[in-house]
Amino acid sequence: MTGLALIAGTGALPRLLAEALSEPFVLAEMEGFASEVGGQAPLRFRIERLVPFLDHLLDRGVRRVVLAGAMRRPQIEPELFDARTATLVPRLVAAMQAGDDATLRAVIGIFEEWGFDVLGADAVAPDLVPGPGILTGQVSAADAADAARGAEIVAALGAVDVGQGAVVAQGLCLALETLPGTDAMLHFAARHGGLRPDPAGARGVAYKAPKPGQDRRVDLPAIGPDTVAAAAAGGLAGIAWQAGGVLVLERARTIAAAEASGLFLWSREP
């Protein structure tokens, strides 16, 4: 087995992923995006010196990499480019102008051209990406209908490269995920929950899924204990997501929080 590197950005995911890894790994961080992963001194690299960094990883025997966490819109200092990385600038700049997803695809493409296998979180820590099944609680027929409606809406949104979440109650869309993220969507749904047509009817479902065309190896949507708390504050019945397409961070704590609030957690077969 060849060496593994974790390219770690900000947020909780890289740390949780590192804890779930069952083999030694090289930790790398982009300058300006320190991770929460402890336990070893990280290799630091700058995007302007990406090629020497890739060569260094190869020298250390690394052939497999996992990218995790946020590394968005790094500041670029043109005078720092080495000659070989400079040849990649047109590609990187074009990708950055096309958005975060395009940037990640470009970076993955470069890693692959250098001979690395780029792995997803599900490949190295399958417990973080649940397959189909109800993790806790009960899903009513009305909840299942709301989840199906949420899946339909999120797929339509994802096709225009927006959002990865929706809140649906009694068939009606209360909130959609946009740039401000999942928690902001759930707070909006909580603020307007009184619009449910039948106050005694289904309380609603938060649904999450990756974008249809998204590379599953990076930037999967995630839920965790905070998501459960925000969904509970909105009086929702539960959280459903596309099985195999969503990270569940801190699974034990997330399930305990859902049980304490009476919410279901449903990893739904797409």
Site residues for its own copies per CB under 8 A: 73, 99, 152-153, 156-157, 159-160, 162-163, 171-176, 178-180, 184, 188, 191-192, 195, 197
DSSP 147-184: HHHHHHHHHHHHHTT--SEEEEETTEEEEE--TT-HHH
Kindly tell me which of 83 and 200 has the beta carbon lying closer to its own copies. 200
Among 216, 262, 213, 220, smallest CA distance to 239 is for 262
Question: For the chain, how many residues are written?
Answer: 270
Kindly tell me which of 181 and 262 has the beta carbon lying closer to its own copies. 181
Q: Is the dihedral of CA 173, 244, 214, 185 positive or negative?
A: positive
We find the least distance from the C-beta atom of residue 171 to its own copies, in angstroms, to be: 7
Among 126, 130, 106, 127, smallest CA distance to 118 is for 106
We find the least distance from the C-beta atom of residue 175 to its own copies, in angstroms, to be: 5
We find the least distance from the C-beta atom of residue 109 to its own copies, in angstroms, to be: 22
Kindly tell me which of 58 and 148 has the beta carbon lying closer to its own copies. 148
Q: Residue 199: enclosing H or E segment and its boundaries?
A: none
Kindly tell me which of 127 and 152 has the beta carbon lying closer to its own copies. 152
How far apart CA 250 and CA 15 sit, in angstroms, is 11
We find the least distance from the C-beta atom of residue 155 to its own copies, in angstroms, to be: 8
74, two tokens: 């790094």
We find the least distance from the C-beta atom of residue 182 to its own copies, in angstroms, to be: 13
Kindly tell me which of 41 and 160 has the beta carbon lying closer to its own copies. 160
